A and B are shown apart, each in its own frame.
Chain A
Amino acid sequence: MNLGKRKNANRIFHGILVCCILFSILMLAVLFIDTFKKGLPYLNVKFLTNYTSRFASKAGIKAAIFGSLWIIVFTIIIAFPLGVCGAIYLEEYASKNKLNDLIKVNISNLAGVPSIVYGILGLAIFVRALGFGRTIISGAITMALLILPIIIVASQEAIKTVPHNLKEASYALGATKWETIREVILPYSMPGILTGTILAVSRAIGEAAPLVVVGGAAAIWFTPQTPFDEFTTLPLQIFTWATMPQREFQGVAAAGIIVLLIVLIFINLTAILLRNKYQDRIKV
């Protein structure tokens, strides 16, 4: 092949690559524009303050907002300490042996288990065996288990970034292992741990499949008062609306999606702000 042809092939290939990138961006744009167009007519204050309804025009998302809030708070309370402590163990304590290798492989496999399988686990253990029923606590534990591997892996990565010489400095001053972890390793890696946790949390907020199985209720006309109440969440409510036979409920579902996306954007912004603040504190 002569050089001109080869160069042309390269140019054509470059064009194809750009098209591939544009495809993704186009899809993203269409998704946003189309969903917003469908949902905006239904998005108003009443939509935020009403419970759901048989009538599309009256349906609101209040119960789902509160349900998501409850679920997420308990998910964090359970998953964050478990995940961070697990990561500390793996990075700082675990020596190289078969058991610890098994734990590591196991975590990466858990991250690949379909989310609906966690739902089945939650159904069998928390809903039925432990008798929690189809409640917030069952949903939150299930979600916590789902995002646990993500938090562990992210925390491990963050802990790995702690410079070796800082740990040495601490040990050389006669600090014990736990003191070194508490005073040096955790403060240094906290921004990374928080970022990873927030990403995991935003995954949990958007996740519907496990809660469908654990049994978020299709329609809730109250805001939960205790963790042992029934619940629905934003994605569950959207799912319910999207499966309604009446055409107008697709618009209501789209309005729900807009709320969900705004919540997710808000959470990610908080993550960035929190991380920046923490980083400043470390430097002082």
Chain B
Amino acid sequence: MKVKMQIRDLNFYYGDFKALMDINMDIERKKVTALIGPSGCGKSTFIRTLNRMNDLIENTKVEGEILLDGEDIYSKKIEVEELRKKVGMVFQKPNPFPKSIYENIVYGPKRHGIRNKKQLDEIVEKSLRGAALWDEVKDRLNKSAWELSGGQQQRLCIARAIAMEPEVILMDEPTSALDPIATSKIENLIETLKKDYTIVIVTHSMQQAARISDNTAFFLMGELVEFGPTSTIFTTPKDQRTEDYITGRFG
């Protein structure tokens, strides 16, 4: 199956405010899907519906379906903790726990029942290697994660997400708090990660979307205006609004 996640007629409400309108989208397996659009357009709200982070906000409502491998993630049969194990997330600002590097990585696996020390050690090494951080931190795994630089912290957060062996990784503007060098490291990392994972990334930078993504979705005021292969969106957009945004006429 080529499609990993299908979004069908998705509506989302904060109280009475309708933040997402009739979104339909197919997210391809082991591809990078970028979500772009001006701030407040709903792209962050959208990405947070994919692992039900919006459940944490009171007074919100979801309509429609989001299918993960054909199964509706909002169905009663789905436990949200299990879903979040499958769909990992990396946030805008690096948010490591005030614990050691080691404890940060094993946080998820421990929650899902892995207690064996040897197994945990393996997970730590594998995840840190996967996030291209192993060589930098292997000698200080028991040091606080808060002592790392911003870029290292963000790669730690990626390592923490892949430690759960998720199928999808959501990234909500993962480089917006980082300097250009750290940003390029993360972008390279994403390039490698997509061999194993399906990645959805919200980005404020169109250049970034163009550089790293296979498909791009353009959001405007809660609507999905256009969705398609990145090359098409950036070269021959069908919608006038997409073209205006990409050519920098607004936003």
Q: Which residues of A contact B (CB under 8 A)?
A: 95-96, 163, 165-166, 168-176, 179, 183-184, 187-188, 282-284
**Is the pair B51, A172 in contact by a Cβ cutoff of 8 Å?**
yes
**Is the pair A171, B56 in contact by a Cβ cutoff of 8 Å?**
yes
**Is the pair A174, B112 in contact by a Cβ cutoff of 8 Å?**
yes
- Picked from B58, B107, B112, B146, the residue with its CB within 8 Å of the CB of A170 is B107
- Which of chain A's residues have a CB closer than 8 A to the CB of B142? 284
Q: Which residues of B contact A (CB under 8 A)?
A: 51, 53, 56, 58, 81-85, 88-89, 91, 93, 95-100, 107-108, 111-112, 142-144, 146, 157, 160-161, 164
- Picked from A170, A171, A174, the residue with its CB within 8 Å of the CB of B97 is A170
Q: Which residue of A lies closest to B88 (CB)?
A: A172
Give Cα distance in the complex from A176 to B111, angstroms: 8
- Picked from B93, B107, B157, B160, the residue with its CB within 8 Å of the CB of A183 is B107
- Picked from A95, A172, A282, the residue with its CB within 8 Å of the CB of B53 is A172
- Which of chain B's residues have a CB closer than 8 A to the CB of A173? 84-85, 88, 107-108, 111, 160-161, 164
Give Cα distance in the complex from A168 to B160, angstroms: 13
- Which of chain A's residues have a CB closer than 8 A to the CB of B164? 173-174
- Picked from B111, B144, B157, the residue with its CB within 8 Å of the CB of A179 is B111
Q: Which residue of B lies closest to A280 (CB)?
A: B144
Supply 22 A–B pairs (Cβ within 8 Å), ascending by A.
Answer: A96-B58, A166-B95, A166-B98, A168-B56, A169-B91, A169-B95, A169-B157, A170-B97, A171-B53, A171-B84, A172-B51, A172-B53, A173-B107, A174-B108, A174-B164, A175-B81, A175-B107, A183-B97, A183-B107, A187-B99, A282-B98, A283-B146
Report the minimum CB–CB distance from B111 to chain A (whole Å). 5
**Is the pair A176, B84 in contact by a Cβ cutoff of 8 Å?**
no
Give Cα distance in the complex from A16 to B96, angstroms: 51
**Is the pair A172, B84 in contact by a Cβ cutoff of 8 Å?**
yes
Report the minimum CB–CB distance from A284 to chain B (whole Å). 5
Interface of B is mostly: mixed
Give Cα distance in the complex from A282 to B144, angstroms: 8
- Which of chain B's residues have a CB closer than 8 A to the CB of A96? 58
- Which of chain A's residues have a CB closer than 8 A to the CB of B100? 284
Give Cα distance in the complex from A239 to B84, angstroms: 61
- Picked from A165, A179, A187, the residue with its CB within 8 Å of the CB of B95 is A165
Indicate whether A163 sits within 8 Å of B107 (C-beta atoms), given known contacts A172-B89, A174-B164: no
- Which of chain B's residues have a CB closer than 8 A to the CB of A174? 81-85, 108, 111-112, 164
**Is the pair B89, A284 in contact by a Cβ cutoff of 8 Å?**
no
Give Cα distance in the complex from A168 to B84, angstroms: 11
**Is the pair B111, A284 in contact by a Cβ cutoff of 8 Å?**
no
- Which of chain B's residues have a CB closer than 8 A to the CB of A163? 95
- Which of chain B's residues have a CB closer than 8 A to the CB of A170? 97, 107
Q: Which residue of A lies closest to B89 (CB)?
A: A172
Q: Which residue of B lies closest to A175 (CB)?
A: B111
Q: Which residue of A lies closest to B170 (CB)?
A: A172
Give Cα distance in the complex from A84 to B93, angstroms: 30
- Picked from B58, B91, B144, the residue with its CB within 8 Å of the CB of A165 is B91
Give Cα distance in the complex from A175 to B84, angstroms: 8
Report the minimum CB–CB distance from A222 to chain B (whole Å). 48
Report the minimum CB–CB distance from A61 to chain B (whole Å). 43
**Is the pair B144, A284 in contact by a Cβ cutoff of 8 Å?**
yes
- Which of chain B's residues have a CB closer than 8 A to the CB of A188? 98
New A-B pairs, 8, CB < 8 Å, besides A169-B160, A171-B84, A179-B111: A168-B53, A168-B95, A174-B81, A175-B111, A183-B107, A184-B97, A283-B144, A284-B100
Give Cα distance in the complex from A179 to B89, angstroms: 18
**Is the pair B81, A166 in contact by a Cβ cutoff of 8 Å?**
no
- Which of chain A's residues have a CB closer than 8 A to the CB of B83? 174
Report the minimum CB–CB distance from B187 to chain A (whole Å). 21
Report the minimum CB–CB distance from A73 to chain B (whole Å). 31
Give Cα distance in the complex from A172 to B160, angstroms: 10
Q: Which residue of A lies closest to B104 (CB)?
A: A169
Q: Which residue of B lies closest to A279 (CB)?
A: B98
